[in-house]
Every structure is written in structure tokens, then in C-alpha cells.
């Protein structure tokens, strides 16, 4: 059968070309391309002019700018419609022979069976409608719907078995007020649903962004229940498009596509109160999902997120073809290349598995309404941060190491003109050769030109820090300061970090082993995060060893600290795109080496990849087994330093999700530590804000476990909490003669987030707010704050928190007294001195309160240690915009001669009932109410036995 097609030039002249085809299907690759102006004319008339009496196959498609659709049912002007060539002139089908007989009798004949009284069909896929409508033809399989094209199921497999066609026409009846018709399209495997809407008559009107008085609704991912939902207006989780108008002619047609070959779709035409003649004309096609043009499914390589409408996950491994990364993964807006659904937010998550295989994301097409950039846009997020936002016809190409990239597509209301079909993007992965890729952007309509430099958070020398050792085949060294060696690296707050991989080395030198060495200088530490490894072969034929202390592992005879034998592997991510737990290796003040041997015969896909970071003594020593915990010891670390918890080191590349980092600062005996938060990049969080008052800084939130925050802890007691934007309160300074810890709680971490960074400074000193003494054990002495007695006043430069702990000791035969002097005036919320019973778990735990002194006047305060005690804890707490001013003077004297100035009795010092007194009161009441003789009651005991009983009860009942 010969079918002729038109090639329409811009001049309007036509040239003929013949193509041989076996049947009317999608086997042809013949394209009908035409200019936009001519296409608009031909689509309005829904007629083209073929040479001869032929119909175009649905295998062709129309490419009009960025819009593409299948050519369906093109007819000649002389034909009645898509299926009917003439209304009469052909013999009726055998099932309607009685119709011919009746018409022959009526005409005076004798039942002439050869009389041609029925419609002539346009092609083999059409069948006569029968006795009800003898002058029409319809698509075979739908001939029973000629007079009632309403509430119809169009099943792809059934239609093809009847008509050998995978396309057709929907021409509705005229609807009156409050009527509806639905058309359910059921695809078959390998085919998606395509709908082209050309005509809509008397079907409501557009009231701002909503249809009123009738509408045409297209529902994808729908089943039988969706028909009722669409009619009633209650929609389940599915895509929905709505069109309306009094007399609409869509040119080009309003194009709608489904996104799979499984789920049915439903078209619902609903009339309103004032509808008189609502009508619809549309074409449908079951289009191959693997169509060579853009008519096929464009979302390739991704996995739909369970429970979501339009969210997708992409993994690097899913885009692999025969072990190589090709341009096989694509993402597109829902319904592409047709209209995208309104009022949707779709997220496409891309998970990178290796920094040595960066992602290039190329937006091939972006077609969004430029006037509605607030509602219709494409947003690109790298590691949770907005990188680029596209709108209108902007395109972009970018390269990133990730590890997490999200493309967020947002749509507003569906408004005319109906020519915007969203976006199409391509994902490409390629292996690096140890050099960072060139990042670039292009696009004739792009306003968001990207800076062609390294992505944020990746040091310039991250991939160039590996050097081959002299006279070595496959032994490499990674130095702590690669800048001095000429390979280039980047210093980040005294920290060097980067990546290493066997893929960039000559490891196929069997049977010789290879190595990576990380030399560590005194005062330095190194941390390694093994991102992934794959070692194949049986019985440890391949292996990986961890050595510590050897500067050159080639000549070391020491046993490895750890050995991993083949077969062994570790993936950076699991199947749910989450990273696996980090595989951490630490070394303080000692070099580290990774010695490995991999047999190339057992597989070329063997690899060892990791990230490393060097730290110096200013940043503390890493705590083994942790990712970011550090310890600062005044006896080892420098007396002062600065550090940043910016999490920009490459060892955090594979960290996603919640985690905590803790830095502890331990002063020496008779010394104090001061910690100051100097800068912060934390952003506003509507769930939490920081409030600093006379009681300290607090996180005002319902639940701190769900927000990013920082707590500063003294002796296991949380004193400061910071969240949100805290820049207005800085600096926040804390001083103590006991341990201070900084806890950084991150709810959802991703690599290189700057809004989590804080800068701190620390100082260990012998003279500070807590003085130079911790144990007040000398007969006499004094301690004071640095500014006590000075005439100049300190300026208001932030918030200062002081928390000092002392232990006063005395002999059993002596009385310990003290006097506190302070020029400050205020209340206990700003400044207080608390006397407490001593506890063996000091300083992590204190006993009950004996007395509280507040600076309510300029007079001196005198207090004494209660009789019977030989140790007492004293805690000073101060919180203000200026440092505390005080002086504490103490002395001891014998019990027979109390110190001068003590005017109060010792019992008056006990303002808070201690557990000791409560137990004594209970025992006293029990004894007085018992049946013991008066001589044995507590009230009848002499004073000496009372004192002994008091001591025994204290020893027995009071927990330490």
C-alpha cells in the first residue's frame, strides 16, 4: 500500500514523497514538519490535503517549535469525518442486509441486495455504524457508540485487535445543563496515552484561575473510582488538568500525556447550570513509550517515590550501561511533552555515589510562563541549598560533585495560552582522572550563568593532593600541606582535606602491593573516611591493610592495625539513597598508611575510595570512632586558639541525616577556660529563636530535638542554648574552672551547609573570672575576678556567663568562714553565690543547697561552713552583659574562738532543707511516737549521744 505525505515549506507550496509501508502503525519514521503559522491554520481546520485518497498514519508526529504531537486522522476535504468517506454509496454490512431490503421495498424494488444505501468508510480501520446510523462510519470496535459517544472505555488492546489502529477521535454529544460524559482510556504495555484537544464549546468559563459553570477535566493515574471522583469533584492523589471556555479552538492543540504505560486516564466533560450545547472534539493516541522523538517517556533511569504523586529518585548506578556512565538518564516535568499539571510540587532527587564521578545536569528545554515566575519555576538545590532557579525559557548546564542534588518543579494555576510544557533535563556521569572537571553553563536564554569554579565546599586541591613517591610504581603520599609540594590544596581554618581513589592510580601491577601514606607531624592528626571499596577474589588473594606509625609502609615490618581480606565490599549508599555508616580511621601524632593489593584478574571494577582531613593542635585531637568530636586539653593543646564547626571538610561528603558533634575543653588544676562564640551563619528558623536575658540564653521552642541548635554545657549542666539567627547576641562568652563542652545538634545534615557554621575561640588562663584556686584548703586566702577593684568599667560587648566551682576544706576542730565583697547590685538571676553540700561525684554532681547569697547591696557578706562538715562546695554563677566583679576572702579558726564578724548562728545558714534534715525529722517523729521508754527516746539522750547519732544517721541514710 502506498501512502503519500506532505512536506510543507514556509512558502506554502507542497512537495510529494512516497513511502512504502506494511500497515498503518508506528513503524514509519516519516516526519511532517511545518512552520508554526501554517500549522495553526491546518490544525484549526483539522484538515490536510493529501495526494490521493489516503490518511496519515499515527506513526508521524508534528514538531511545532517546542511542542510535539502525533498526527492523527488527517482527512481530505471531501470526506465527512475521520472514519466516513461518504454518507452513502456503499453496500451495508451483512448484519444490516434487512436495512437494504426495507429500503429496496420502499423504493419500489424487490429487495435489491446490491443497492448501495450505507456509508462508505475511509479506511480499513473504520466500520459502518449499522442500522441506527447508516450514514456514518466509526472506528472498528466503537461502532456501537456512533449515536452515543458518552461514558465510553477506550481500551488500547481491544481497539487495536478490532481496527489495527492505536489512535482515534472523541467527538462528544451535545450536553445540556448538569450533564457529564466520561471517556476512560486504558493503555497497553509499551504505550502511553496521548490526548489532543482541538475544540471546546459552551463548557463554562475561566473565573480568575478556576473554571465555573462547566469544565473539561483530564485525570491521569486513574482507575474506575477516578471516574466517580472526577464527576463529583473529589480527587484522589493524581494529576488533574482543567480546561473551560465558551467557544475555544486550540491551535496548536492542548496536549496532554500520561506518564506510564500502566495506569488508565480519564477525560470528563461536565456541563453547568446554563449549558445548552456543550461539545468536545479531541484526538487520542496510544503512543510508544520508546518513541524515537520526544513523544516517548522522558523520565528515564529514575524510580518513583512510593506514596508520592510526582517525586523521583535517581541513583548513579541506575544510569550505568555495561559498566560505563552514558547519557541514559533523563528527567522531565509530569506529562511532558504535553501540558504540565497545575498546582504541583515535584522533586527529583539525584544521589551521587562517588565524588570521582560528578554529575552534569543539562536542561535541554525549559518552557514556562515568564510572567508567572513566582508560581511556575524550576529550582535546583545542591546539598539542600538553592543553587539556581529557572523560569521562562531559561536553560542551564552545571556540573557538581553533590553528593545530593534536587530538582524541584513547581507549578501554579493552568491558564491560557496552553503552550507551556515544563522542562526536560539530561543527567550525565563521567569518571574523573584525578582532576576536577571544568564547570560551565550555556543556554541562549539563560540568565543564571554559573561561576566556572569549584562547587562550594570542595577545596581546589581536593583531587590533586595525591603524589607518587619517588622511585615507586604504585605507592602514593598525601601530605598535610599539599601547597608546599606544588600540587595545590586549600587551607580551611588550619585544615586540609581531599579525596583519594585507586581509580586514579596504577594499581594493576600484580602481585606487587600498593599504598597510600598520610604522614603526620607532631601536634597533628589525620582522619580518613573510607567512602567505598570493592575487593574481589577468594581467600584473601586481594586485601587492604591499615598501618599506623610507618612513614614508608614499603619497608615497615610492623603488623597492620587492621586487615580486610577479599571478598569484601562497602557501598557508599544503600538502595534507599541513604549513605551507609562512615568507615572511620583516626590517628593522633602518628602517620597512617593504607596498603592494598587487588588482583586484576578477579575484576576490573575493584576500587578503594575515601576522603581525608588533617587537623592541627589548634583544633584539638579527634576522638576515635567519631566523625567530628574533638578534645582540648590544657596540658597538651595551645593556651588559645580558634576553630570553626563549618563541616566543610571532605570527610563529611558522605554524611546525610541527623548527627551531633561535641568539643570538650578541660582546664588544668588552678586554671580556667574561657570559650567565646564569635560568629555564626545559622539562619532564622520559624520553629525556634534565641532569647538572652538575665537568666542566660535559651532556645525558645517546643522541641529542641527537631531543630538545629548549639548548647554549651558546664560540668554536665546545660547553661546556654543557641538557635536560629544569633548574630545580634554575639559574642557569647563562658568561663569556668571546670570542663566546658560545646554540643552541635544537626537535624538534617548535607555536605557543605554554610548555615550550620559557627566560629569559636578558646583560652586557657591562670587568671580569669574563677581566680587561680580550685581547692580552698589553705588556712587563709582570697580569690577575685580580674576586674575587681579597677576603676575603669568593662564595655558591653556581648553576653558573659561565669560558672565557677570551688571546694572549701577544713579540719574537724576548725571553723571555716568567708567574706564576699562585690560592687555589683542586682538580683540572684544576674549574680549569685551558692553554698552546697559536697558530693563525691563533684564536679558532675553537687549536693543539696545550704545557702544562697545575692549581690543585693554593696555591703560585704559573711558566711561559715556548718558545724560537723569538713568540706563544702561553693558555686558562683553570673550572667550579664559585663563580667562579674567579686572578691572572696576566707580564713579558719578553732571552734572555741569563732571568727569575728559571724553574727548568725550556724543553723540560720540552712535556708533549704537538705535530705539530711528531712531524714532526721522523720526519725525524730517516729521515735517520739513509738512505745520506747522515755530514757531511750531521742529527746532523752544527752547532747553527746545526739551528736553521735546525728553523725551515724548521716553516714547511713545520705547517698553520696
Residue 777 has pLDDT above 60, yes or no: yes
Report, as an integer, the average pLDDT of 385-399.
93
pLDDT of 342 over the 70 cut? yes
- Band of the pLDDT at 792, cuts 50, 70, 90? low
**4 pLDDT higher than 70:** no
> What per-residue confidence (pLDDT) applies to 700?
92
pLDDT one-digit tens code per residue, 155-190: 999 999 999 999 999 988 889 888 999 999 999 999
**How many residues would you count in the chain?**
960
Instruction: Look at the block and give the residue holding cell 572537571.
Output: 437
Least reliable range by pLDDT among 242-246, 529-533, 655-659, 909-913: 909-913
Q: What is the pLDDT of residue 937?
A: 36
Stretch 759-772: mean pLDDT, rounded?
82
pLDDT (0 to 100) of residue 18:
31
Q: Dihedral sign, CA of 679, 685, 688, 694?
A: positive
What pLDDT is stored for residue 797 in this prediction?
63
| Interval 411-444: pLDDT, tens | 999 999 999 999 999 998 877 655 554 444 444 4
The number of angstroms, rounded, from the C-alpha of 29 to the middle of its chain's C-alpha atoms is 43
* pLDDT classification of 481: cutoffs 50, 70, 90: low
Going from the C-alpha of 26 to that of each of 49, 144, 163, 503, 833, the distances in angstroms are: 21, 26, 14, 45, 89
- The winner for highest mean pLDDT among 102-106, 288-292, 403-407 is 403-407
Which residue did the predictor score with more confidence, 224 or 367? 367
Contact 407, 441 (CB under 8 A): no
**Segments in 763-898 forming alpha helices (H):** none
The residue with greater pLDDT, 490 or 726, is 726
368 CB contacts (<8 Å, ≥6 apart)? 376, 377, 378, 390, 391, 392, 393, 420, 422, 423
Tell me the pLDDT tens digit for each residue of 272-326.
888 888 899 999 999 999 877 788 888 888 888 888 889 999 888 778 665 544 6
d(CA 799, CA 696): 8
Q: How far is CA 524 from the centre of its chain?
A: 34
Of 680-689, 712-721, 934-943, give the range with the top mean pLDDT.
Answer: 680-689
* 786's grid cell: 580580674
Residue 243 has pLDDT above 80, yes or no: yes
Residue 345 is predicted with a pLDDT of 95
Please, what is the average pLDDT of the chain?
77
Closest CA to 59 of 22, 85, 34: 22
- At 587, which helix (H) or strand (E)? strand 583-588
What pTM was estimated for this model as a whole? 0.73
703-711's contacts with Cβ under 8 Å and 24+ in sequence apart are: 704/745, 705/745, 705/747, 706/747, 707/747, 708/682, 708/745, 708/746, 708/747, 708/756, 709/745, 710/677, 710/682, 710/742, 710/743, 710/744, 710/745, 710/758, 711/742, 711/743, 711/745
Measured over all CA atoms, what is the biggest interatomic distance in the chain, rounded to whole angstroms? 150
pLDDT of residue 692: 85
CA distance 260 to 187: 9
- How confident is the model at residue 732, as a pLDDT? 87
User: Residue 795 has what pLDDT?
Assistant: 56
Q: What is the pLDDT of residue 549?
A: 81
Separation CA 42–CA 72 (nearest Å): 13
What distance in Å separates the CA atoms of residue 12 and residue 33, rounded to the nearest whole number?
13
Give me the DSSP letters along 744-782. Answer: EEEEEE-TT-GGG-EEEEEEEESSSTT-S-SEE-SSEEE
pLDDT greater than 50 at residue 811 = yes
Tally: H helices and E strands in the chain: 6, 64
Q: What is the pLDDT of residue 928?
A: 37
Cell numbers standing for residue 197: 484537544
Q: What is the mean pLDDT of residues 848-871?
A: 80
Nearest CA among 421, 391, 392, 420 for reference residue 408: 391
> What was the pLDDT predicted at 500?
92
Inter-residue contact 217 to 242 (CB < 8 Å): yes
pLDDT digits (tens, 9 = 90+) for 548-604: 887 676 666 778 889 999 999 998 887 666 788 889 999 888 889 999 998 888 888
Q: What pLDDT is recorded for position 743?
A: 92
Transcribe 39-53 into DSSP letters.
HHHHHHHT----SSS
Q: Mean pLDDT across the stretch 489-493?
A: 37
Between CA 619 and CA 645 the distance in angstroms is 10
pLDDT exceeds cutoff 60 at 349: yes
Report whether pLDDT(249) > 90: yes
Average pLDDT, integer, range 932-951: 39
3-state DSSP assignment of residue 280: strand
Distance CA 960, CA 958 (A): 6
462, pLDDT greater than 90: no
Backbone angles phi, psi at 944, to 5 degrees: -65, -45
How many of the other CB atoms lie within 10 Å of CB of 74? 21
pLDDT tens profile 944-960: 444 444 444 444 444 43
Percent of residues, the chain, with pLDDT higher than 70: 73
Helix ranges (H only) for 214-315 are: 224-232
User: Is the pLDDT confidence value at 607 over 60?
Assistant: yes
Q: Is the pLDDT of residue 464 over 80?
A: no
Instruction: Say what angle helices 915-928 and 943-957 make with each other, to 10 degrees.
Output: 120
Distance CA 586, CA 283 (A): 67
Amino acid at each position: 500500500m502506498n501512502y503519500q505525505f506532505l512536506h510543507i515549506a514556509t512558502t506554502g507550496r507542497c512537495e510529494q514523497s512516497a513511502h512504502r509501508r506494511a500497515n498503518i502503525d508506528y513503524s514509519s519514521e516519516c516526519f511532517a514538519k511545518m512552520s508554526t503559522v501554517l500549522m495553526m491554520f491546518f490544525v484549526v481546520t483539522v484538515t490536510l490535503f493529501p495526494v490521493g485518497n489516503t490518511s496519515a498514519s499515527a506513526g508521524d508526529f508534528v514538531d511545532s517549535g517546542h511542542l510535539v504531537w502525533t498526527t492523527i486522522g488527517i482527512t481530505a476535504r471531501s470526506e465527512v469525518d475521520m472514519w466516513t468517506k461518504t454518507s452513502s454509496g456503499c453496500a451495508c454490512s451483512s448484519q444490516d442486509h434487512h436495512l437494504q431490503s426495507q429500503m429496496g421495498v420502499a423504493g419500489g424494488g424487490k429487495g435489491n441486495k446490491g443497492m448501495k444505501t450505507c456509508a462508505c468508510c475511509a479506511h480499513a480501520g473504520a466500520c459502518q455504524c449499522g442500522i441506527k446510523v447508516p450514514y456514518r462510519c466509526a472506528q472498528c470496535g466503537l461502532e456501537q457508540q456512533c449515536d452515543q459517544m458518552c461514558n465510553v472505555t477506550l481500551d488500547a488492546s481491544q481497539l487495536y485487535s478490532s481496527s489495527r489502529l492505536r489512535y482515534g477521535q472523541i467527538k462528544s454529544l451535545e450536553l445540556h445543563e448538569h450533564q457529564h460524559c466520561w471517556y476512560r482510556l486504558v493503555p497497553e504495555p509499551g504505550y502511553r496515552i496521548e490526548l489532543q484537544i482541538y475544540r471546546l464549546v459552551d463548557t463554562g468559563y475561566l473565573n480568575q484561575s478556576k473554571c465555573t459553570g462547566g469544565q473539561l477535566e483530564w485525570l491521569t493515574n486513574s482507575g474506575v473510582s477516578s471516574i466517580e471522583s472526577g464527576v463529583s469533584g473529589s480527587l484522589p492523589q493524581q494529576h488533574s488538568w482543567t480546561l473551560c471556555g465558551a467557544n475555544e479552538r486550540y491551535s496548536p492543540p492542548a496536549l496532554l500525556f500520561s506518564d506510564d504505560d500502566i495506569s488508565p486516564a480519564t477525560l470528563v466533560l461536565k456541563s453547568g447550570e446554563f449549558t445548552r450545547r456543550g461539545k468536545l472534539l479531541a484526538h487520542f493516541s496510544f503512543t510508544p513509550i520508546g518513541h524515537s522523538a520526544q513523544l516517548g517517556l522522558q523520565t528515564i533511569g529514575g524510580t518513583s517515590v512510593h506514596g508520592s504523586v510526582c517525586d523521583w529518585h535517581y541513583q548513579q548506578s541506575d544510569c550505568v550501561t555495561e559498566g560505563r556512565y552514558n547519557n541514559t538518564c533523563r528527567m522531565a516535568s509530569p506529562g511532558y511533552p504535553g501540558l504540565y499539571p497545575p498546582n504541583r510540587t515535584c522533586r527529583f532527587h539525584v544521589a551521587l555515589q562517588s565524588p570521582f564521578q560528578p554529575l552534569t545536569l543539562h536542561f535541554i528545554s525549559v518552557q514556562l510562563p515568564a510572567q508567572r515566575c513566582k508560581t511556575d519555576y524550576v529550582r535546583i538545590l545542591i546539598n539542600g541549598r538553592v543553587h539556581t532557579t529557572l523560569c521562562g525559557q531559561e536553560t542551564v548546564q552545571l556540573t557538581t560533585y553533590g553528593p545530593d542534588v534536587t530538582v524541584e518543579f513547581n507549578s501554579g494555576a493552568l491558564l491560557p495560552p496552553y503552550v507551556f510544557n515544563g522542562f526536560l533535563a539530561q543527567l550525565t556521569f563521567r569518571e574523573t582522572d584525578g582532576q576536577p572537571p571544568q564547570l560551565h553553563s550555556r543556554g541562549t536564554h539563560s540568565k543564571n550563568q554559573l561561576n566556572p569554579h569549584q562547587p562550594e565546599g570542595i577545596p581546589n586541591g581536593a583531587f590533586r593532593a595525591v603524589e607518587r613517591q619517588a622511585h615507586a610504581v604504585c605507592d602514593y603520599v598525601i601530605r598535610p600541606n599539599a601547597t608546599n609540594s606544588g600540587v595545590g590544596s586549600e587551607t580551611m581554618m588550619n585544615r586540609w582535606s581531599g579525596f583519594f581513589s585507586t581509580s586514579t592510580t596504577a594499581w594493576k601491577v600484580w602481585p606487587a602491593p600498593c599504598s597510600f601514606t598520610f604522614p603526620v607531624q607532631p601536634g597533628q592528626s589525620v582522619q580518613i573516611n573510607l567512602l567505598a571499596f570493592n575487593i574481589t577474589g577468594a581467600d584473601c588473594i586481594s586485601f587492604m591493610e591499615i598501618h599506623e606509625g610507618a612513614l614508608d609502609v614499603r619497608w615497615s615490618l610492623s603488623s597492620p592495625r587492621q586487615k580486610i581480606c577479599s571478598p569484601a565490599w562497602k557501598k557508599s549508599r544503600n538502595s534507599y539513597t541513604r549513605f551507609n555508616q562512615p568507615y572511620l580511621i583516626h590517628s593522633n601524632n602518628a602517620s597512617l598508611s593504607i596498603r592494598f593489593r587487588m588482583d586484576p584478574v578477579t575484576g576490573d571494577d575493584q576500587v578503594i575510595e575515601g576522603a581525608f582531613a588533617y587537623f592541627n593542635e589548634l583544633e584539638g585531637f579527634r576522638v576515635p570512632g567519631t566523625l567530628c568530636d574533638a578534645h582540648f586539653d590544657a596540658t597538651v593543646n595551645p593556651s588559645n586558639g580558634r576553630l570553626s564547626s563549618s563541616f566543610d571538610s571532605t570527610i563529611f561528603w558522605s554524611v546525610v541525616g541527623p548527627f551531633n558533634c561535641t568539643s570538650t575543653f578541660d582546664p588544668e588544676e588552678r586554671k580556667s577556660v574561657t570559650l567565646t562564640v564569635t560568629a555564626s551563619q545559622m539562619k532564622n528558623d520559624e520553629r525556634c529563636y534565641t532569647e538572652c536575658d538575665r537568666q542566660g540564653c535559651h532556645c525558645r521552642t517546643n522541641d529542641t530535638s527537631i531543630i538545629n541548635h548549639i548548647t554549651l554545657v558546664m560540668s554536665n549542666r546545660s547553661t546556654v542554648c543557641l538557635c536560629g539567627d544569633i548574630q545580634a547576641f554575639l559574642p557569647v562568652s563562658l568561663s569556668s574552672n571546670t570542663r566546658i563542652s560545646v554540643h552541635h545538634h544537626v537535624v538534617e545534615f548535607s555536605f557543605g551547609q554554610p548555615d550550620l557554621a559557627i566560629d569559636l575561640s578558646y583560652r586557657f588562663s591562670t587568671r580569669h573570672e574563677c581566680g587561680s584556686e580550685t581547692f580552698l584548703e589553705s588556712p587563709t586566702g582570697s580569690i577575685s575576678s580580674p576586674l575587681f577593684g579597677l576603676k575603669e568599667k568593662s564595655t558591653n560587648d556581648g553576653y558573659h556567663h561565669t560558672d565557677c566551682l570551688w571546694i572549701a576544706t577544713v579540719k574537724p576542730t576548725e571553723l571555716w568562714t568567708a567574706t564576699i565583697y562585690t560592687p555589683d547590685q542586682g538580683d540572684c538571676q544576674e549574680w549569685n553565690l551558692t553554698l552546697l553540700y559536697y558530693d563525691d561525684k563533684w564536679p558532675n554532681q553537687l549536693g543539696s543547697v545550704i545557702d544562697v547569697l545575692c549581690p543585693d547591696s554593696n555591703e560585704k557578706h559573711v558566711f561559715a561552713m556548718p558545724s560537723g562538715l569538713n568540706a563544702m562546695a561553693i558555686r558562683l554563677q553570673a550572667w550579664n552583659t559585663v563580667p562579674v566583679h567579686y572578691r572572696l576572702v576566707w580564713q579558719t579558726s578553732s571552734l572555741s574562738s569563732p571568727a569575728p564578724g559571724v553574727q548568725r548562728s550556724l543553723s540560720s545558714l540552712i535556708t533549704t532543707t537538705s535530705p539530711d534534715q528531712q531524714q532526721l525529722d522523720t526519725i525524730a517523729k517516729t521515735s517520739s511516737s513509738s512505745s520506747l521508754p522515755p530514757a531511750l527516746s531521742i529527746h532523752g539522750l544527752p547532747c553527746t549521744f545526739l551528736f553521735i547519732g546525728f553523725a551515724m544517721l548521716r553516714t547511713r541514710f545520705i547517698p553520696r
